Amino acid sequence: MFDVSTRTHFSSGHHLRNYPGNCEKPHGHNWKIEVTVRATKLDELGMAIDFRTVKNALKEIVDDLDHRDLNEHPAFLNKNPSSENIAVHIFESLQKLLTTDRYRPYSVTVHETDNCGVTYRAD
């Protein structure tokens, strides 16, 4: 197995509906994202997946989240834009773009601060 990872970031605002604390109020984060794609074998060039392919797919997803109120994004109209739900959204979006017989998304990690983050894997 080969695990290929890349990182990016985006900025956006959100609030957690019905949260018993400060996070119920609108606030923003500079989200840090790391995605890992797992490949079962290498291609004819000796690559699991081209970094550029992973980065371009991730950019397409993150550009849709950047500089907006996540509570107004279609993916979060009926659920809180928590770090957990953001990780699932990115993972499921990547599945549509990066799933072949040789590779597929393995994990998405979302950090809302330097010290707090969550990783989602569909095992």
Active site residues: 23, 67, 112
Pairwise CA distance, residues 104 & 97, whole Å: 9
105's tokens: 């998304």
Pairwise CA distance, residues 74 & 121, whole Å: 22
Cα 29 off chain centre by:
14
